[in-house]
Structure 1
Amino acid sequence: MADFNLNRRQFIQGATAVLTLSALQAKGLSFTGTAKNMRVALIGAGWYGKSDLFRLMQVSDVQVVAISDVDSNHLQEAGKLISERQISRKVPALYKDYRKMLANHQLDLVLIGTPDHWHTLQAIDAMRAGAHLYLQKPVSIDVLEGAAILSAARKYNKKVQVGTQRRSTPHLIDAKKRVIDQGLLGKISHVEMCCYYHMRMNGNPLLERVPDFLDYDLWTGPAPLRPYDGLPHGGWWRTFMEYGNGITGDMGMHMFDAVRWLLQLKWPKKISATGGIYVQKEGKSTIADTQTAIFEYDDLNCVWQHRTWGTPADPEYPWAFIIYGDKGTLKGSVMKYEFIPIGKGDRILQDVVYEKEKFPEDLKEPRIELHTAPATRRHMLDLLSAIEHDHLPVADIEEGYISTASCILANLSMQLNRPLVYDPQKKICVDDPEATKLLRKSYRAPWQHPYRI
């Protein structure tokens, strides 16, 4: 495998010859250097896994040598689509079991786009096999899984870019530079974050025979084995706490992570939450349809609210953050931002950036999120730069761990009906042994939790 780590002297000597990420973006997102020869693999070849991989392939001539998925239909389709986009036109090697793929190939970079309950084991196995990572969020479904990934990344000296691409979203980068960094908000003491999408499926499908093209036992992996009631793909799995962290840990993590990045926040001092299944009680889904969480910092509260029913508080910002300062307010979403000054001053508005002219192939890709494609491309470029020039990516695994764990702790607070204070050094909930036990979920045999107590 190519050695991408540069010592400090080599880096300083070569700095003048290296294009910075901003320069790369200004030149149309091209990338040069060792990244062009990187051997890449994908774990989880469904919708978003392929989407992430295609964004990487748009900005670097990587070699996609292998992919794995427990659904043979996904696998065959992805192999064909990748071959059509590769310069070599080669179909990558196809695997049902990602462990065999890691054993058979020397990989430089692995993208992970599987359901959340698989992220931790696959991430650690891939790093142990020698690969850097692009890891979809959330990084884990319990707090100590996240701690284990962070430990592994530092132990194996691997770069991990978490798929919290709000940190690479052009219009939000502009908001940070023009509003936050210029101090236009004044003293900031309150943040509201929300999601009012009706995204909780909550159906009652009948039990079925597992289709031949799906290895359902391997799909389930370390999670509890639910009776099979149809393909979990397409979002059905997201409505179960067995496989993820609910809407707070899914949509809320994105907005909380964006706020932390904008305001340079780390771990909350205290986390509390209330909620549950208040309205949509008729179906199987186990995630909350209503939840409010408070992430407390010194002189600052970040408040999250989601409902999967009713109308949004502001129809223009159904999934968003609002940062309140004593000099103005900043509203932000995946589609736009606006700064509203108090008193005199100019309003600042900017819409999402599309790149349809630069990347016309985006318009032909099924299910692509056109508004997030530019952000994901920049996220990939930042990761390639981190690998080649040995710096932490903008959404480093430590940041992903903080954002993921904070949302999980909000879920635990809701479950226990009391506030929680997490000590990230001791890996405990302070003065709360019951909550501390919940930081680590039980794994289904024979899978073993990666965090050793």
Structure 2
Amino acid sequence: MNNSRRHFIRSASTLVAGAGLVTSLPASLRAIAPSDKINVAAIGINGMGWADLNAILKNPVAQCVALCDVDKNVLDKKAAELAEKGQKVKTYADYRKLLENKDIDAVIIGTPDHWHCLQMTDAVSAGKDVYVEKPIGNSIAEINAMVAAQERTGRVVQVGQWQRSQQHFKDAISFVHSGKLGQVRLVKAWAYMGWMKSIPKQPDGNPPAGVDYKAWLGPAETRPFNPNRFHFNFRWYWDYAGGLMTDWGVHLLDYALLGMKAQHPTTIMAAGGKFAYPDDAAETPDTLTTVYQFEGFNLQWEHAIGIDGGPYGRDHGIAFIGNNGTLVLNRGGWEVIPEKGKMEAVPLQKSVDKGLDLHAVNFLDVIKSRKLADLNTPVQAGAHVARVAQLGNIAYKTGKKLNWNGVKEQFDDGEANNYLAAAYHNGYKLPK
């Protein structure tokens, strides 16, 4: 966005002092000239990348000008959907070509986790603002490179942990910080995913027509194409992601850390495995318990695939267990269950807003204002919880109780330190 366009958008925003939502602009300001809009592009549009784009496009200040995907079938389909809505976009198979487009102000990155680091660092280096899906990186070294790139360039980088934009989550954390729960010695976070079933093994074969499989692999190890590793199920393979720990874990552990104002764990241990579906195609554990020790409290993560009956009758959530009572929080709302005679119960406070939509508004508002401190999930916040999730996976892989130095970002165990950086292949190098 050039200076005149940015000045126009800032001026329009100033005219509605106190109106935080782009969608609350009066009709006279909604008729924004195309030259004064925020031009958005999306890289990786088969899942959350497409959801993120549509949330952003609900705001009249934004328009989509380009799409990129290595699957031409997906690319053509999504471009046609936008064309039906009157938005004609350029399409790209190579994200690097997209980033050369000077008309693009901001990009959404919705690719598999193993691509996030390269694409985000390349995007900010190209002068783009970025909305990047969680987890921000597939290793601690990648996470650190992404933070360094944002701090070097000063670009707006919002991480897709949209729960940070929901009011009931903020209200729950305010209650935890009030001290009414008494001393909180244990925090639990969990994801019980009953809808997820076994992934049957399938033979290797040729990638579908229109898929640039080499580009999809990118820095990951070259392997024969297998449909189980492609699209949604990439999450269950270590080459590309970290299983439920980094999928749902970063959402829920994030609020556990916020509630406790926690920095670095001192020890981590994890146990689990493929207990539900030992012979299916997935690599990551379907059952896992991880315990982090912080100063003054323990944080426990649990996940179980194929089961809905999680703690407190919820399939996902966070529980702050205090001497006076327990606050239970999830996407549906929060409540307080008191210890007998120690405090009053708080009935369920239900969610009343749409976090993804509000997260998109927050991203666009900060693109206009350039006030990075107003981001609800800046890259530093996404990095903090992503590191904690990666520590849990490293503890699982080693099978050891690990001691972690959060200042030096090192274990006192050589085997564990070998997992801090993901190996890069096919000529790609970790950004420095």
Fold-level similarity (TM above 0.5): yes
Q: Distance in 2 between matches of 1:108 and 1:26?
A: 20
SS of equivalent to 2:402: coil
Cα drift, residue 26 of structure 1: 9.6
Counterpart selection for 2:133 from 122, 133, 136: 136
Cα distance in 2 for partners of 1:25, 1:188 equals: 38
Q: How does 1:61-100 map to 2 (within 5 A)?
A: 61-85=61-85, 89-100=86-97
Structure 1 window deviating more from structure 2 (323-332 vs 165-174): it is 165-174
2:412 aligned with 1:415, yes or no?
no
Residues 303-312 or 60-69, more deviating: 303-312
Supply the distance in 2 between the matched residues of 1:188 and 1:15 (Cα, whole angstroms): 42
Please state if 1:352 is matched with 2:348: no
- Cα deviation code 1:1-48 (max 9, x no counterpart): 4359x9xxxx9x999866446x43894899989996111110001122
Distance 1:107 1:420 in 2: 44
* Partner SS state of residue 66, structure 2: strand
Residue 105 (structure 1) shift: 3.4
Unpaired runs of at least 5, structure 1: 355-373
Q: Distance in 1 between matches of 2:253 and 2:222?
A: 31
The whole-number CA distance in structure 2 between the counterparts of 1:446 and 1:99 is 15
**8 Å CA contact 1:40, 1:107 repeated in 2:** yes
Following the alignment from structure 1 to structure 2, what is the Cα–Cα distance between the partners of residues 106 and 152? Answer: 22
Whether the 8 Å CA contact 2:22–2:61 is kept in 1: the answer is no
CA deviations over 1:76-129 (Å, ceiling 9, x no partner) = 1111222344xxx23110001111111133422110111111111010111111
Determine the structure 1 residue equivalent to 2:186: 190
SS at match of 2:100: helix
Residues 271 and 406 in structure 1, CA contact (< 8 A), matched pair in contact too: no
Q: Distance in 1 between matches of 2:237 and 2:42?
A: 24
Say whether 1:322 aligns with 2:319. yes
SS at match of 1:378: helix
Deviation of 1:271 (Å) = 2.2
Cα distance in structure 1, aligned partners of 2:309 and 2:186: 20
Unaligned runs of 5+ in 2: none
Q: Which shows bigger deviation, 128-137 or 53-62?
A: 53-62
In 1, Cα distance between equivalents of 2:426 and 2:47: 29
Q: Deviations over 1:32-74 (max 9, x none)?
A: 8999611111000112211111101112431211110001111
Name the counterpart of 2:268: 271
CA distance in 2, matches of 1:340, 1:170: 20
Alignment equivalent of 1:380, drawn from 341, 360, 375: 360
Q: CA deviation at 1:319?
A: 1.2
Are positions 1:434 and 2:430 aligned together? Answer: no
Match of 1:209 in 2: 206
Structure 1 CA distance, aligned partners of 2:77 and 2:167? 31
Q: Distance in 2 between matches of 1:388 and 1:268?
A: 36
Which of 245, 256, 259 is residue 259 of structure 1 equivalent to? 256
Q: Taking structure 1 as reference, are residues 124 and 61 closer, same or farther at Cα in structure 2, changes over 3 Å only?
A: same
The C-alpha deviation readout for 1:362-417, integer Å capped at 9, x for no partner, is xxxxxxxxxxxx10111112222323331231211111111111111111111112
Q: Distance between the aligned counterparts of 1:29 and 1:229, measured in 2?
A: 51
Which residue identity does 1:68 align to in structure 2?
Answer: C
Deviation at 1:250, TM superposition (A): 1.1
Deviations 1:277-323 (A, max 9, x none): 23421122100111111122211111001122455234731111111
Structure-2 change in CA distance of 1:427 and 1:2 (3 Å):
farther
Q: For 1:292 and 1:336, how far apart are their aligned partners in 2?
A: 24
Cα root mean square deviation, aligned: 2.9
1:420 Cα deviation from its structure 2 partner: 2.9
Q: 2:167 aligns with which of 167, 170, 178?
A: 170
Stretch moving more, 120-129 or 329-338: 329-338
Of the structure 1 ranges 141-150 and 89-98, higher mean CA displacement relative to structure 2 is found in 89-98
- Relative distance call for 1:165 and 1:36 in structure 2 (3 A) is farther
- Farther-moved stretch of structure 1 (65-74 vs 375-384): 375-384
Whole-angstrom CA distance in 2 between matches of 1:3 and 1:433: 50
* Aligned pair partner of 1:110 in 107, 110, 114: 107
The question of 1:401 aligning with 2:383 is answered yes
Aligned to 1:209, what secondary structure does the other structure show? coil
Q: 1:244 aligns with which of 238, 241, 245?
A: 241
Structure 2 residue aligned with 1:359: none
Query: What percentage of aligned pairs have identical amino acids?
Result: 28
Q: Taking structure 2 as the reference length, what is the TM-score of the superposition?
A: 0.89
Pairing of 1:297-336 with structure 2 (within 5 A)? 297-310=294-307, 312-314=309-311, 316-336=313-333
Distance 1:297 1:19, change over 3 A: farther
Kept in 2: contact 1:293–1:304 (CA 8 A)? yes
Letter in 2 for 1:239: W
Q: Secondary structure at the match of 1:104?
A: coil
The 3-state SS of whatever aligns with 1:196 is strand
Structure 2 equivalent of residue 357 of structure 1? none
**TM-score when scaled to structure 1?**
0.85
Give the drift of 1:272. 2.0
Q: Which residue of 2 aligns with 1:447?
A: 428
Please tell me whether the aligned partners of residues 266 and 406 of structure 2 are also in contact (alpha carbons under 8 angstroms): no
Aligned letter for 1:38? I
70-79 vs 231-240, which deviates more? 231-240
Q: Secondary structure at the match of 1:59?
A: coil
Kindly indicate whether the alpha-carbon contact (under 8 Å) linking 2:53 and 2:108 is maintained by their aligned counterparts in 1: yes
C-alpha distance in 1 between matches for 2:24 and 2:13: 18
Letter in 2 for 1:284: A
Task: Provide the secondary structure at the position in 1 that maps to 2:51.
Answer: helix
Q: How many residues in Structure 1 have an aligned counterpart in Structure 2?
A: 421
2:401 is paired with a residue whose SS is coil
2:273 matches 1:293: no
Change (3 A) 1:105 1:292: same
CA 1:377 to 1:210, structure 2 compared with 1: closer, same or farther past 3 Å? same
Give the superposition deviation at 1:426: 3.2
